[in-house]
Amino acid sequence: MSVTIYHNPKCSKSRQTLELLEERGANPVIVEYLKTPPTASELKEILSQLGLAPRELMRKKEDKYNECRLDNPSLSDEDLINLMVEHPILIERPIVLANGKAAIGRPLEQALEIL
């Protein structure tokens, strides 16, 4: 089984989710998404697997969210996706992909549900 985690090593929840995956025998591919952000098409696929709209995957408390005025309801999904690609700090973390499904590791156990 192939498992991928979009990971931020500075984030405690991301570190805990990675540790939990490894404890369960997964050997995930680790994508440090701040260094290697997903492409727009990858992000669309992740959103589809999560069943979320782009705004639902955004970290609304990040300074960049306010700086970019992302609370503007006139921004399209395409606009929001492109902004997450440009500013990956806006993407909620961690995201785990496995078995054609995706989960956000908040709470941590959610990531195990797709294994």
- Say whether 11 is catalytic: yes
Structure token pair of residue 35:
């260094």
- Strand pairing class (95-98; 3-7): antiparallel
Structure token pair of residue 113:
């549900």
Considering 4, 6, 9, 11, which one is annotated as catalytic? 11
Q: Is the dihedral of CA 97, 98, 100, 102 positive or negative?
A: negative
Which residues are catalytically annotated?
11
